[in-house]
Amino acid sequence: MSCDLAISVEGLNKCFHIYESPSHRLQQFIFPRLDRILRRDPRAYFREFWALRDVSFEVRRGETVGIVGKNGAGKSTLLQILTGTLAPTSGSVQVRGRIAAMLELGAGFNPEFTGLENVFLNGALIGMTKEEINARLDDILAFADIGDFIHQPVKTYSSGMFVRLAFAIQANVDPEILIVDEALAVGDAQFVHRCMYRFHQLQEMGTTILFVSHDASAVKRLCDRALWFKGGRLAASGDSVVVVDAYLSDLFLKASTAEEGAGGGSSGEPAASEGETPDSGELPAGDRREGGRLIEFVSMRVRGSRGRAIDAVGWGDVFHLHVRIRNNSVPAGETLCLGYIVRDPRGIEIASTNTRIEGIELVVPEPGEELGVEFSVTLPMISPGDYSITPSVSVVERSGDFLIMDRIVNALLLTVTADAPIYTPIRFPTRINVHPG
């Protein structure tokens, strides 16, 4: 294993035995020798479930790697193997460095122990001495900020207090490798900001981080690379923006296919594949097109305040996003929603809205008819660069779920210019008053 690698996984497989009843598990335990004599297949007692198949990847020291995938894709199994709480069926796993992991709520906690006693217990589990824990104790208690509850048994804690204490321990023991499984999504706003600040501190210190989350925007924003797991296999690995977009596209395409099947019809036109050029010259191709297109975009453009098409805009300027849609086969009168997402030059989603959020009620027009909508946007003080706009049109079900009809990813590009320095993604309009004395 190269010295610049923190984690190396090669040909990893994990198979679980699924028993139909407890008696089958007992029989397999009692009669294995008889089965060998009679040459019976031991799998007669169980069926195999392969949680991971032929997984290989490497994580370099100091990298932050996101892991995405649907529930049941194998993410949790992988993390348990990396932390040593689960043994692989085959393949090799090499980990170099002290691991701190948050895999499950309260994992490693003794519910009868107080919070303070669990601090020392968890520290000991990852190889720290009592002196090392004492040296970090004040930081851990300040980070958790649960007051006198630190002296109460953790079985009396709320789920939020569990996570506060667990994250405080794992994030303040200076781990060489930190594994976080959705933990940053729990807690009040102040605690989430505290976690994110510590997260960035660990990144700057060169900590290797594996970040598992269903928050696609967070993975894009926080991670250098991403791994996408699908059905126990590694479906893609690479730049976090590219991998997460591919994962989301796969989800949306499946949803669109199911939607068309349930609807019993289609527009008669296939959904545009990646890179396909639409028929209309007024409709940009974008990077990818999603949705069944029972309702579809027929034109879109960005105009300035004088009505001319523009491709650049400055702070405080108003630009107008014009979109036009056509109903191909959806019954008239259904609730309609039009919106857009703006991504920054790195592909991170920084802004979005839709007609529902803005209080505009829309209904689906008659089949064959078109509808035009204009979004007028005042540009805030954001970092200069090339930003993309992704428009989307959906039908809103009675349950409140959105069924995507058409979405063109990165359909339009808009260059933001600035006439003053900015060192962060956004700058607030600020007035400064000086009061002498």
Instruction: Write out the residue range of the structural domain in which residue 399 sits.
Output: 273-417
Q: Is residue 252 part of a domain?
A: no
Predicted local distance difference test score (pLDDT) of residue 117: 94
Identify the pLDDT of residue 72. 87
In three-state secondary structure terms, 210 is strand
Domain contains 427? no
Contact assessment for residue 85 and residue 7, using Cβ atoms and an 8 Å cutoff: no
Amino acid 97: pLDDT = 87
User: What pLDDT was estimated at residue 164?
Assistant: 85
Which pLDDT value is given to residue 403? 92
Question: Does 404 fall in a domain?
Answer: yes
The count of structural domains within the chain is: 1
**How far from 345 is each of 205, 383, 385, 428, CA to CA, in Å?**
26, 10, 6, 20
Flag residues of the chain having pLDDT under 70: 1-2, 20-46, 104-107, 182-189, 252-281
pLDDT attached to residue 268: 33
Residue 403 belongs to domain with CATH number = 2.70.50.60
pLDDT digits 0-9 by tens, 66-122: 999 988 899 989 999 998 889 999 999 999 988 888 776 556 788 899 999 999 998
pLDDT at 174: 79
**Would residue 143 count as lying in a domain?**
no
For residue 384, which phi and psi values (nearest 5 degrees)? -65, 150
Across 226-242, b (16+ Cβ under 10 Å) vs e yields bbbbeebebbbbebbbb
In a domain, 313, yes or no: yes
Q: Residue 282 domain-assigned? A: yes
Query: What phi, psi does 223 have (nearest 5°)?
Result: -110, 145
- pLDDT, residue 239, reads 92
DSSP 8-state symbol, 103: -
In a domain, 325, yes or no: yes
Report how far apart, in Å, the C-alpha atoms of 436 and of each of 375, 430, 431, 432 are: 45, 19, 16, 13
pLDDT in the model for residue 24: 59
> pTM for the complete prediction?
0.69
Domain membership flag for residue 353: yes
pLDDT in the model for residue 273: 34
